[in-house]
Amino acid sequence: MIIGKRDFDLNCGKSYIMGILNVTPDSFSDGGKYSDVDAALNQANQMIEDGADIIDIGGESTRPGYTMISVEAELDRILPVIEKLKENYDTPISVDTYKWTVAEAALNAGADMINDIWGLNYPEDPGHKMAKICAKYNVPICVMHNNPIKLESASEKEFLNTFIPQIQERITIAKTAGIKDENIILDPGVGFAKNLEENKWSIPAIKSMKELGYPVLLGISNKSIIGNISNLPVEERTEGTIALNVLGRTYGSDFFRVHDVRSNKRALEIADAIMNCTK
């Protein structure tokens, strides 16, 4: 898979790290830390030194109960950071947005891929313009599952029987718009439109997602699934994040979206080494 100037070999047995760079005042884990350009650049530099393969820039928090901001406000936050990163680094840049107007402006500014939490199915984009923009610019798109399962008493099997067809619907939207197969990444959407049991089931579901023929990104960094299991606050969820990422790797996830790049990179390198020697 080509992202920016980099060729990501998805058959080499290696995990790839996407470092989270939230330029927002209200993100659940790091809100306000990197909301000015200099702080954002310093954090990006640190993540790259720690081994980040991709930097994912977000200008609007999507935590539970988040406040939606305007397109203009989102662009004011992300465009200066994109431009500065492109001036100084070759590391691919992803933009975390569900708004097609933001996506197009970001791509024009130099972004290399789009990370869409609505999985090309945002209710205010009935014409699937996001998908058409990604096809037009020929860039990778991370398509996240973000649909309520709506089963009153689901089992893991019942969950999977609804979950996978919903993902296939998102793939159909992408391909109908002209997005190439080699530009599609799937995300199980842990923490989105799911209760605790469904979040748990989403991780082993990665194995079934991989059978659809696309790489998978797992984004569980510091999320409530960890807090609900361990009863720990956001700032104490690093170990839980690492544990779930390593578990996700055993199910086939290729990309891992994280706040703490160094610790997750090190843990996944160990997991990769063991998995590769047992093939």
Percentage of residues of the chain with pLDDT beyond 90: 87
Read off the pLDDT of residues 182-228 as tens digits, 9 standing for 90 and up. 999 999 999 999 999 999 999 999 999 999 999 999 999 999 999 99
pLDDT at 153: 64
Query: Which of the residues are catalytic?
Result: 223, 257
pLDDT at 64: 63
Contact 229, 206 (CB under 8 A): no
Task: Point out the least confidently predicted range of 57-66, 129-138, 141-150, 248-257.
Answer: 57-66
Residue 40 has pLDDT above 80, yes or no: yes
Residue 34 has pLDDT above 80, yes or no: no
Q: Mean pLDDT throughout 32-51?
A: 85
Q: Mean pLDDT throughout 102-128?
A: 96
The confidence band for 32, taking pLDDT boundaries of 50, 70 and 90, is very low
pLDDT at 33: 54
pLDDT at 31: 46
CA 227 vs CA 124, 188, 215, 237, 247: distances in Å: 32, 19, 27, 7, 17
pLDDT at 30: 47
Average pLDDT over all residues of the chain: 93
CATH of domain 14-277: 3.20.20.20
Read off the pLDDT of residues 78-95 as tens digits, 9 standing for 90 and up. 999 999 999 999 999 999
Nearest CA to 202 out of 224, 220, 181 is that of: 220
DSSP state of 31: T
Q: How many helices (H) and strands (E) does the chain have?
A: 10, 10
Q: Mean pLDDT throughout 246-263?
A: 98
Q: Mean pLDDT throughout 39-49?
A: 94
Q: Kindly report whether the global pTM for this prediction surpasses the value 0.85.
A: yes
pLDDT at 145: 97
d(CA 144, CA 34): 25
Read off the pLDDT of residues 209-221 as tens digits, 9 standing for 90 and up. 999 999 999 999 9
56-73 burial code (b ≥16 CB/10 A, e <16): bbbbbbbbeeeeebeeee
Contact 142, 217 (CB under 8 A): yes
d(CA 200, CA 198): 5
Residue 160 has pLDDT above 70, yes or no: yes
